[in-house]
Chains A and B, each alone.
Chain A
Amino acid sequence: MMNQNLKEKDVAILAIESSCDETAASVVVDGRTVLSNVISSQIDIHTLYGGVVPEIASRKHTERVTQVIRQALEEAGKKLEEMDAIAVTYGPGLVGPLLIGVSAAKGLSFATGIPLIGVHHIEGHISANYIAEPSLEPPFACLVVSGGHTHLVLVRDYGEYEILGRTQDDAAGEAFDKVAREIGLGYPGGPKIDKASKEGDPHAIVFPRGKVAGSRYDFSFSGMKSAVLNYLNTSRMKGITVNVPDVAASFQQAVVDVLVTHAADAVDQYGLKKFALAGGVASNTALRAGMRQMCADKGVDFYCPPPILCTDNAAMIGSAAYYEYRKGQFSGLDLNAVPGLRLGQR
């Protein structure tokens, strides 16, 4: 007798992420249920140098990678042999760090015969929303904002993306880091500026809202960053004491305004009903609030993963990999790291 509840076997995926300075591994079932999400951060080491040093990050990944994978399996209560696929971020990111995850994943796949799935890091960030909101399905729009990326993307279907806009220079998170360094807040800039802004007036100083000529959805943050530096220099020369919280809040407001305005334009032009936020900078409280307000004003459903799924993590990679698995999109043992991998590229 057929049992109505007898669905196909659950698909369990072991996912690995090492594209920057977090060594991460996770076990995800059917793309939506996270059994474990282990993140080993190197932030303390890189704080010494004021930013991520690729060679040091690569060395740390190498030291930690199997412990992190082992811990992810243990916390999930699963054995490696029970995995249906091994997923790994293969780009974009820093080539040295990427190669550690990719090589370890290939070692595991070689030794077990479990199929390998190379995953795009940004697809991972977008897919974090599938974990946070199990009812979310494409189509929707997504703003991906992190230390390395700023993308406005239409998610037409699982694994099908149209990039509406991307940054032409610095990523938003990169601009946060640079400004934080200049105003003495240090690394990592995002959380520090977010915190300092709470004490400041976002309208104290008007920094320019960067525009890209001839492109409605592309971003530019380097002008904004230069404006902050000019303001600091001018103040210094005039002997004016800079109010750090005001600078932080005003700069953050300028970045958020640009991001939210672009998102609002996309909602209007494409008649979108669902909008998601993703990436490390999606943890920024002002950006979350701004996006939530804009979506509420326009009657659009707003999605945003909790901070633990916004930062670089492997659960999001396991989610993205599940939809590749369903399409039978596997990678060979010759999978290489592709630091400049574009979204939708294979």
Chain B
Amino acid sequence: MKIMAIEASGPVAGCAVLEDGLLIADYNVQYKKKHAQSLVPMMDEVKHMLDLDLSTVDAIAISKGPGSFTGLRIGAATAKGAAMAMDCPIIPVPTVDSIAYNLFGTDSLICPLMDARRQQVYTGIYEWIQDGDAPDGMRFSVVRPQCVIPVAEIAEDLNARGRFVIFLGDGVPVSREALAELMKVPYTFAPAHLARQRAAAVAALAYAYYEEQGDACMVTADDFRPQYLRLAQAEQEHSERRNFSLLLQ
């Protein structure tokens, strides 16, 4: 099973290749250059570096969102074009889950924070559970699925759970002060090499899905679409107007 993974949901552009559980390439860049210019050249460089015959790739994994709308679409359209040409399926991976998956085996709760602007974060809560039936005796578990909420709301949720928390993600720098005020339980922040979106984590989590679910974790290139977790602003206003006029009736 060979998976090529793409990450373009936030500040990181990334491409990784995982072959039967072995990570053979992981290329991530967080710099000024835009994903529109960097992502495909990075994939091409990985291809050349590995002498990769693309016909041997079984699936393209992608960080499906939430995140930057534009970044998600650059990743999605690239993945769809490549998967169509390579005649292979896509494995969509929830972005917040993949960030959490950077950490392994901890007793703490894992809470990624992505800056969603408008005083909100894309976030979720995850944990590792000891489980004799799981590979390596540990199971990655979603405690609260990815969502978009104010940082105070996720802090309240975490406080109620009464456990140590590890925060990570590009939402950390903008939320630090708020967390210092809001958090009642002890917490820390993941170090630099684990703290952002990473193509290898997308690839590894996609592989875990495949081992668990087989083909059920895959969609066709045509069917794949990003998960924004937010309506377009015009749709939002349109539905608010409609709700308001229903209210008046």
Contacts and interface: CB of A to CB of B under 8 A. Distances in A.
Given A48-B238, A99-B74, 13 more contacts: A53-B234, A62-B77, A63-B225, A95-B70, A99-B73, A100-B77, A103-B36, A103-B40, A107-B82, A108-B84, A110-B81, A332-B41, A334-B41
Contacts, number: 115
A55 B232 contact: yes
Interface in B39-61: 39-41, 43-44, 47, 54
A147 to B, nearest CB: 18
B40 A106 contact: yes
Given A103-B36, A103-B74, A333 B81 contact: no
Nearest to B79: A107
Interface string B187-231: 000000000000000000000000000000000011001101000
Contacts of A104: 77-78, 80-81
B249 interface: no
Contacts of B47: 110
B165 to A, nearest CB: 33
A70 interface: yes
Nearest to A101: B77
A105 B69 CA distance: 19
Interface string A49-66: 100010110110111011
A66 B233 contact: no
B38 interface: yes
B36 A111 contact: no
A108 B73 contact: no
A112 interface: yes
A107 B77 contact: yes
A96 interface: yes
Interface string B76-115: 1111111111100000000000000000000000000000
Interface of B: 34, 36-41, 43-44, 47, 54, 69-70, 73-86, 221-222, 225-226, 228, 232-235, 238
A66 B37 CA distance: 21
A337 interface: yes
Main SS at interface, chain B: helix
Interface residues of A, number: 36
Interface of A: 48-49, 53, 55-56, 58-59, 61-63, 65-67, 69-70, 80, 95-96, 99-108, 110-112, 332-334, 336-337
A55 B233 contact: yes
A336 B40 contact: no
B81 A111 contact: yes
Given A53-B232, A65-B80, A111-B82, A70 B44 contact: no
A66 B221 contact: yes
B44 A110 contact: yes
A108 B82 contact: yes
Contact of A102 (B36, B38, B54, B234): B36
B38 to A, nearest CB: 7
A55 B85 contact: no
Contacts of A337: 36
A62 B44 contact: no
Contacts of A95: 70
B73 A106 contact: no
A111 B82 CA distance: 5
For the complex of A and B, 3 pairs with smallest distance between CB atoms: A107-B81, A103-B77, A111-B85
A96 B73 CA distance: 8
Given A56-B232, A66-B221, A107 B40 contact: yes
Nearest to B233: A55
Nearest to A337: B36
17 contacts: A49-B238, A53-B234, A58-B69, A62-B76, A80-B84, A80-B85, A95-B70, A99-B70, A103-B36, A103-B74, A103-B81, A104-B77, A107-B82, A108-B85, A110-B47, A110-B85, A111-B82
Contacts of A80: 84-85
A62 B38 CA distance: 19
Contacts of B70: 58, 95-96, 99
